[in-house]
Structure 1
Amino acid sequence: MATGRALDELSRLLFGHLHRSDQQRWGQVYLQGLLRTHGKKTVRRMAATVTGSEAAASSLHQFVNASPWEWTPVRGRLARWAARSLPVRSWTLAPTVLPKRGDHSPGVHQRFLPESGRTVNCQLGLGLFLNAGQAHIPVDWQLFLPPRFTRDPAVRDRAKIPATAQAQPLWDHALHLVQEMTSWTEDGRTAPVVADLTTLCDITPLAQRLQGSGHAFVLAIPGQTALGGPELPPGERPSARALLLRRGVRHPAGAGRQIISYETPVRGVRPSGEHTQGAGRLMAEWDAGTGRPGRIWLTNITDRHPAELLELARSPRGAQSAVRRMGEDFGLLDFEGRSFPGWHRHMTLVSAAYAYGTLEGMTP
Structure 2
Amino acid sequence: MTTRTRTRALAAGDTDLKEFTERLFGHLPRADQRRWARVYLQGLLTTPGKKSVRRLAASVTESPTASQSLQQFINASPWDWNPARTELLRWLEERQPVRAWTIGQVCFPKRGEHSVGVHRRFDPVAGRIVNCQLGFCLFLSLDGMSVPVDWRLALPEAWVTDPVLRRRARIAPEAVHQNPEALVLELADSIATRTSSAHPPVVADLSRLGGAAALIGMLGRRGHDFLVSVPPTLSVRAAGLTPGGDGARTPGRGTTAADFARLGNTSHPYATPLAGPGARPQGQRIHSALVRVPEGESGARGAQQIYRLFGERRPGAGGRGGTGGRGGAGGPVWLTNMNRHRMDDLLGLVRAAGRSAAVLGALADDFGLLDFEGRSFPGWHHHMTLMSAAYAYALRGRVRIPRAQPA
TM-score, length of structure 2 as denominator length: 0.82
Aligned partners of 1:54, 1:133: CA distance in 2, in Å?
A: 43
Contact kept? 2:105, 2:135, Cα under 8 Å = yes
Runs of at least 5 residues in structure 2 that lack an aligned partner in the other structure: 1-5, 272-281, 402-407
- The answer to whether 1:282 aligns with 2:309 is yes
- The answer to whether 1:192 aligns with 2:201 is yes
Match runs of 1:1-364 below 5 Å:
1=6, 2-3=9-10, 4=13, 5-187=15-197, 189-228=198-237, 231-232=243-244, 238-254=255-271, 256-265=283-292, 275=301, 277-290=304-317, 291=319, 293-294=329-330, 295-360=332-397
Q: 1:16 to 1:307 in 2, by over 3 A?
A: same
Aligned partners of 1:230, 1:283: CA distance in 2, in Å?
A: 21
- 1:9-54 CA-to-partner distances (Å, cap 9, x unmatched) read 2101011121111211111111111112222222222222222223
Count of residue pairs the alignment pairs up: 360
Q: 1:145 to 1:275 in 2, by over 3 A?
A: same
Runs of at least 5 residues in structure 1 that lack an aligned partner in the other structure: none
Aligned partners of 2:165, 2:112: CA distance in 1, in Å?
A: 14
Return the offset for 1:233.
9.2
Contact kept? 2:99, 2:143, Cα under 8 Å = yes
Contact kept? 1:211, 1:268, Cα under 8 Å = no
Name which of structure 1's ranges 26-35 and 340-349 shifts more when overlaid on structure 2. Answer: 26-35
Aligned with 1:131: secondary structure?
strand
Q: 1:361 to 1:246 in 2, by over 3 A?
A: closer
Contact kept? 2:96, 2:143, Cα under 8 Å = no
Aligned partners of 1:123, 1:201: CA distance in 2, in Å?
A: 19
**Code of the aligned partner of 1:30:** Y
Return the offset for 1:345.
0.5
Contact kept? 2:262, 2:313, Cα under 8 Å = no
**Code of the aligned partner of 1:318:** R
Contact kept? 2:261, 2:333, Cα under 8 Å = no
Contact kept? 2:260, 2:288, Cα under 8 Å = no
- 1:59-80 CA-to-partner distances (Å, cap 9, x unmatched) read 1111111112101111111111
Return the offset for 1:288.
2.6
Return the offset for 1:92.
0.8
Q: 1:210 to 1:31 in 2, by over 3 A?
A: same
Return the offset for 1:249.
1.2
Structure number with bigger Rg: 2
TM-score, length of structure 1 as denominator length: 0.91
Return the offset for 1:56.
1.1
Aligned partners of 1:100, 1:244: CA distance in 2, in Å?
A: 38
- 1:214-235 CA-to-partner distances (Å, cap 9, x unmatched) read 1110001122211248933999
The Cα RMSD (Å) is: 2.6
Q: 1:159 to 1:245 in 2, by over 3 A?
A: same
Aligned with 1:275: secondary structure?
helix
Indicate the percent of aligned positions where both proteins have the same amino acid.
44
Aligned partners of 1:281, 1:224: CA distance in 2, in Å?
A: 16
Contact kept? 1:267, 1:278, Cα under 8 Å = no
Aligned partners of 1:230, 1:123: CA distance in 2, in Å?
A: 43
Return the offset for 1:133.
4.5
Contact kept? 2:53, 2:70, Cα under 8 Å = yes
Contact kept? 1:129, 1:140, Cα under 8 Å = yes
**Code of the aligned partner of 2:352:** S
